[in-house]
Amino acid sequence: MGSKRSASSRHRPLSSGEVMFAALFAILLLLCAGLIALSWLVIKDSGKDAVFGKNHETRGTFKVISGATYNLNLQDKHSVEFKVLAFDIQQMIDGIFQSSNLKNEYKNSRVLQFENGSIIVLFDLFFAQWVSDENVKEELIRGIEANKSSELIIFHIDLNSIDIAGNVSITCQPGSRPCADAPQCVSTDLFCDGEINCPDGSDEDNTICATACDGRFLLTGSSGSFQAAHYPKLSTSTAVCQWIISVNQGLSVELSLDSFNIHYTDLLNIYEGVGPSKILRASLYETDPGIIRIFSNQVTVTFLVDSDENDYIGFTASYTVFNTNELNNYEKINCDFEDGFCFWVQDLNDDNEWERVQGSTFPPFTGPNFDHTFGNISGFYISTPTGPGGRREQVGLLSLPLNPSLSPVCLSFWYHMYGENVYRLRINISSGDYMEKTVFQKEGNYGENWNYGQVTLNETVEFKVAFNALKNPMLSDIALDDISLTHGICNQSLYPEPTLVPTPPPELPTDCGGPFELWEPNTTFSSPEFPNSYPNQAFCVWILNAQEGKNIQLHFQEFDLENIEDVVEIRDGGEADSLFLTVYTGPGPVKDVFSTTNRMTVLFITDTSLAGRGFKANFTTGYHLGSPEACKEDEFQCENGECIPLELLCDHHPHCQDGSDEAHCVRLLNGTTENNGLVQFRIQSIWYAACAENWTTQTSNEVCQLMGLGNENSSIPTLSTGGGPFVNLNRAPNGSLTLRPSKRCLQDYLIWLQCNHQSCGEKLVAHEVAPKIVGGTDAKEGAWPWMVGLTYNGQLSCGASLVSSAWLVSAAHCAYGRNLQPSKWTAILGLHARSDLSSPHIETRLIDQIVINPHYNKRTKDSDIVMMHLEFKVNYTDYIQPICLPEENQVFLPGKNCVIAGWGRLYYGGPTADILQEADVPLLSNEKCQQQMPEYNITQNMICAGYEEGGIDTCQGDSGGPLMCQENNRWFLVGVTSFGYQCARPRRAGVYVFVSKFAQWIQSFLH
Residues in contact with 511: Cβ distance below 8 Å, sequence separation at least 6, in sequence order: none
Q: How far does Cα 421 stand from its chain's mean position?
A: 39
Distance CA 500, CA 477 (A): 15
User: Which strand (E) or helix (H) includes residue 26?
Assistant: helix 16-52
Instruction: Cite the active site residues.
Output: 813, 864, 959
Distance CA 962, CA 263 (A): 58
Give 923's strand partners. Answer: 945
Amino acid letter, residue 309: E
Distance CA 357, CA 373 (A): 13
What secondary structure, in 3-state letters, does 801-846 show?
EECCCCEEEECHHHHCCCCCCHHHEEEEECCCECCCCCCCCCEEEE
- Answer positive or negative: Cα dihedral of 356, 358, 362, 368: positive
Instruction: Indicate the Cα dihedral angle 69, 71, 73, 77, nearest 10°.
Output: 60
Residues in contact with 345: Cβ distance below 8 Å, sequence separation at least 6, in sequence order: 295, 397, 398, 399, 400
Q: Are 970 and 882 in contact (CB under 8 A)?
A: no
Q: Are 887 and 943 in contact (CB under 8 A)?
A: no
3-state SS assignment for residue 16: helix
| Cβ count within 10 A of residue 193 | 22
* Residue 160 φ/ψ, nearest 5 degrees: -70, -15
Distance CA 223, CA 716 (A): 79
Give, to the nearest 10 degrees, the angle between helix 133-145 and helix 80-98: 100
* Residue 222 φ/ψ, nearest 5 degrees: -75, -10
Distance CA 735, CA 766 (A): 40
521 preceded by a cis bond (ω within 30 of 0)? yes
3-state SS assignment for residue 370: coil
Amino acid letter, residue 432: G
Half-sphere exposure of 431 (CA within 13 A, CB side): 14
Q: Are 566 and 585 in contact (CB under 8 A)?
A: yes
Amino acid letter, residue 390: G
| Cβ count within 10 A of residue 246 | 17
Question: Among 865, 877, 760, which residue's Cα sits nearest to residue 814?
Answer: 865
Give 680's strand partners. Answer: 667, 689
Q: Are 720 and 745 in contact (CB under 8 A)?
A: yes
Q: Are 663 and 640 in contact (CB under 8 A)?
A: no
Question: Among 636, 749, 614, which residue's Cα sits nearest to residue 686?
Answer: 636
Distance CA 640, CA 656 (A): 8
Distance CA 945, CA 948 (A): 10
Distance CA 393, CA 473 (A): 8
Distance CA 24, CA 21 (A): 5
Question: Among 568, 574, 615, which residue's Cα sits nearest to residue 595?
Answer: 574
Distance CA 301, CA 242 (A): 6
Distance CA 750, CA 740 (A): 15
Q: Are 30 and 119 in contact (CB under 8 A)?
A: no
Q: Are 702 and 750 in contact (CB under 8 A)?
A: no
